Amino acid sequence: FIEVSSLVAQPDGDPSAPDASEGLIQSGLPYGTGEGIDLLGRYWSIETRVGIDGSIENQQDLNYQIPSFPIYQRAPLFAVLPKSQVGLQQTSLRISFRTYESLLPQSTIFVVAPLGMDFGAAGGYCTRLTDQQIDAVFTEFNEILATKSPTRLPDYISCRVFDSQRLVLTNTEAVRGGRPLVPGPIYEFIVESMTNPQSTPEINLWRIEAYTETTFEKEVWAIDGYLIKPELTETSVASSNPA
């Protein structure tokens, strides 16, 4: 989704004229990456036309020199699997990802949940389970995300809650002489507790932003989130024959 906003100059100081508008559009992005957002050939244009046919004669306003945004490298794999899809219920998550380039020491990967998902207080750990307990949790999920033999994150990759909507994975190795998280394997990790929203978010997208050794700052990708099954409230059961 692309957010579009504009400011309309008020003619002759007319205070009744609308002065701003904004909205979301869904658009396909090119396959290649690029950072030349200020090149004339990559500018966006926004215009308003009135009338049913939208002909150029009915053009009301125009801006044809709107700088674009950079296209980042797409991450090759990203998946999220919940243990529960019930609204307002705490659940565990199984998250899987793969990158094209290495995650260097002190570099980070952000996992961004849809609005309404709640990871809890900032600074908390994704999990405090032991390796043996994590193995048991993996078996509780009904599906396999990407591989039957996932690669566990090495112990020098920490996973913490950045804020209620974001997780951050950090390569904690020293910058000088530290080990990178190598590309290639499909890494999986467990988020021990997260609270679902009451219903499916309007924009239901999970995102990953991996600040790897890629030329264009980061690898990114977004996937459709899972559907939330609203929790029934104020329910009761009564018998017509209590005897």
CA distances from 85 to 95, 143, 145, 227 (A): 15, 14, 16, 7
Predicted pLDDT at 104: 97
User: Could you tell me the pTM of the whole model?
Assistant: 0.75
Give the three-state DSSP class for 161.
strand
Predicted pLDDT at 176: 94
In a 13 Å sphere around the CA of 204, the CA atoms on its Cβ side amount to 12
Tokens of 208: 């990953």
For residue 195, report the phi and psi dihedrals to the nearest 5 degrees. -100, 125
- Reply yes or no on whether the pLDDT at 25 is more than 70: no
Predicted pLDDT at 97: 95
Average predicted confidence (pLDDT) for the chain = 83
**Stronger pLDDT, 212 or 31, i.e. the higher one:** 212
Conformation bin of residue 70: beta by default, left when phi > 0, alpha when psi is -120 to 50: beta
What average pLDDT does range 219-236 have in this prediction? 88
What average pLDDT does range 193-207 have in this prediction? 95
- Reply yes or no on whether the pLDDT at 80 is more than 70: yes
Highest mean pLDDT among 56-70, 132-146, 192-206: 192-206
Judge contact between 166 and 110, C-beta under 8 A.
Answer: yes
Predicted pLDDT at 137: 79
**Stronger pLDDT, 199 or 68, i.e. the higher one:** 199
